[in-house]
């Protein structure tokens, strides 16, 4: 004779006394047939006070429209359904347990609803299984906060503390990647080096804190004028680098001259009685075949120094031509429109 586990185990008693997992069984009329220990402890409603009663009458705070549809669908289709705390935070509004809660205001729950059959295989009701997912929610939230903090730290490590634009370290990484992309997709790439003219005199005259304010305001103006695809960096001191993808040297020169003119008209008000204006010198170089990142930077720097030597407040493009004339000045900025 075959022995079944159910012959000597009182499953109903086992389920009723579970204190770590909620079990509710209701019949086809939504009357409560089983209300286990977990549900008693968390609802503060004893089983004898809810058994035989309509679930929705006993707990009017339940989302009846949603839950009733779930239950009817389960009985008709004879298929289980699942509700995650990510979709719906809870089924029953219980207080979070002191052990798992942390700062949670209520118990987050995963819930399963599956049909209950009689001995003939007919569906006579459903079982609602409730799992306390609060600890999982707390851990998930902690991991997300940690990830956000890590991303914030990574972002701050890429930024210049004074101006808020990207820093030299990130420039060294990004210029290499931009060159890789330009060669892979066969698009032009231009690099501009921008330096404040006579910046030392601003520091000497008004003090370093005033010089810092000038650099902050300059960075804001530069950011406001470049394209969304461009990337601005503080290269060092009063020098900035600007990576311009998808734009050839000639078009970049017009963009940079507009930028130069805008800076020329800037006035930085340090105090009501102190107003500082400035100009910048700009050197521009375009990526060529076989050119390494360091070589591209050197060409842009060389063009920048030519702008300085030619009188400052101008844009100069590097042109690979006669070795004796490696740099060619653009037409006077006022003639570029």
As a 3-state breakdown, the chain gives helix, strand, coil percent values, each rounded to 5, of 40, 25, 35
Summarised one tens digit per residue, pLDDT across range 15-32 is 666 667 899 999 999 999
| Model pLDDT, residue 145 | 86
Give the sheet arrangement for strand 189-196, strand by strand.
Answer: 231-236, 239-245, 189-196, 280-286, 315-318, 327-329
Which one of 140, 172, 200 terminates a domain?
140
| Model pLDDT, residue 14 | 57
Are the CB atoms for 278 and 263 separated by under 8 Å?
Answer: yes
Summarised one tens digit per residue, pLDDT across range 124-150 is 999 999 999 998 888 888 888 888 888
Beta bridge partners of 24: 35, 128
| Model pLDDT, residue 144 | 86
The residue assigned the tokens 């960096």 is 233
Say if residue 102's pLDDT is above 70. Answer: no
CB atoms within 10 A of CB 167: 20
Could you tell me if residue 150 is inside a domain? no
Same domain (yes/no): 178, 291: yes
Burial 298-310 (b: 16+ CB within 10 A, else e): ebbbbbbebbeee
| Model pLDDT, residue 57 | 93
Q: Using alpha carbons, list the distances in angstroms from residue 210 to 202, 213, 307.
A: 8, 5, 25
Same domain (yes/no): 116, 12: yes
Query: What is the domain-level CATH number for residue 188?
Result: 3.30.70.270
Summarised one tens digit per residue, pLDDT across range 27-57 is 999 999 999 999 999 999 999 999 999 999 9
Mean pLDDT calculated for residue range 169-194: 95
Could you tell me if residue 77 is inside a domain? yes
Tell me how far apart the alpha carbons of residues 19 and 11 are, in angstroms, rounded to a whole number: 15
Could you tell me if residue 58 is inside a domain? yes
Burial (CB count <10 Å: 0-12, 13-18, 19+), residue 108: buried
- Indicate the number of domains in the chain: 2
Domain range spanning residue 129?
A: 5-140
- Nearest Cα residue to 227 out of 239, 213, 214, 243: 243
DSSP state of 332: P
Estimate to the nearest angstrom the gap between the alpha carbon of 255 and the chain centroid.
31
Summarised one tens digit per residue, pLDDT across range 255-282 is 999 999 999 999 998 877 889 999 999 9
Say if residue 6's pLDDT is above 60. Answer: no
Could you tell me if residue 151 is inside a domain? no
Same domain (yes/no): 113, 197: no
What residues are labeled active site? 238
Which one of 140, 167, 196 terminates a domain?
140
Same domain (yes/no): 184, 37: no
Same domain (yes/no): 169, 127: no
Could you tell me if residue 236 is inside a domain? yes
Estimate to the nearest angstrom the gap between the alpha carbon of 154 and the chain centroid.
12
Could you tell me if residue 222 is inside a domain? yes
Could you tell me if residue 321 is inside a domain? yes
pTM for the model stands at 0.61
């Amino acid at each position: 004779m075959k022995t079944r586990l159910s012959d000597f185990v009182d499953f109903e008693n086992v389920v009723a006394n579970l204190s770590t997992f909620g079990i509710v069984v209701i019949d086809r009329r939504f009357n409560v047939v089983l209300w286990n220990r977990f549900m008693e402890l968390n609802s503060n409603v004893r089983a004898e006070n809810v058994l035989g009663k309509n679930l929705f009458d006993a707990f009017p705070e339940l989302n009846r429209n949603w839950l009733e549809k779930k239950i009817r669908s389960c009985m008709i289709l004879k298929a289980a359904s699942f509700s995650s705390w990510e979709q719906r935070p809870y089924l029953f509004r219980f207080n979070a347990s002191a052990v798992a809660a942390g700062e949670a205001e209520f118990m987050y729950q995963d819930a399963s609803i599956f049909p209950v059959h009689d001995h003939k295989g007919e569906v006579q009701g459903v079982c609602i299984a409730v799992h306390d997912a609060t600890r999982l929610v707390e851990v998930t939230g902690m991991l997300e906060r940690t990830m956000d903090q890590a991303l914030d730290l990574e972002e701050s490590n890429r930024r210049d503390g004074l101006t808020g634009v990207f820093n030299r370290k990130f420039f060294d990484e990004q210029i290499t990647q931009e060159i890789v992309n330009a060669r892979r997709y066969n698009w032009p790439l231009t690099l501009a080096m921008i330096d404040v003219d006579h910046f030392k005199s601003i520091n000497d005259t008004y003090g370093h804190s005033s010089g810092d304010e000038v650099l902050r305001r300059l960075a804001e103006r530069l950011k406001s004028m470049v394209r969304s695809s461009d990337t601005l960096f503080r290269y060092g001191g009063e020098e900035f680098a600007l990576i311009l993808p998808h734009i050839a040297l000639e078009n970049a020169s017009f963009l940079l001259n507009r930028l130069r003119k805008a800076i020329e008209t800037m006035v930085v008000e340090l105090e009501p009685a102190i107003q500082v204006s400035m100009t910048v010198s700009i050197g521009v170089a375009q990526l060529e075949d076989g050119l390494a990142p360091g070589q591209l930077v050197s060409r842009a720097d060389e063009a920048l120094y030519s702008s300085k030597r030619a009188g400052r407040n101008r844009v100069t493009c590097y042109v690979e031509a006669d070795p004796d004339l490696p740099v060619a000045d653009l037409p006077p900025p006022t003639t570029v429109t």
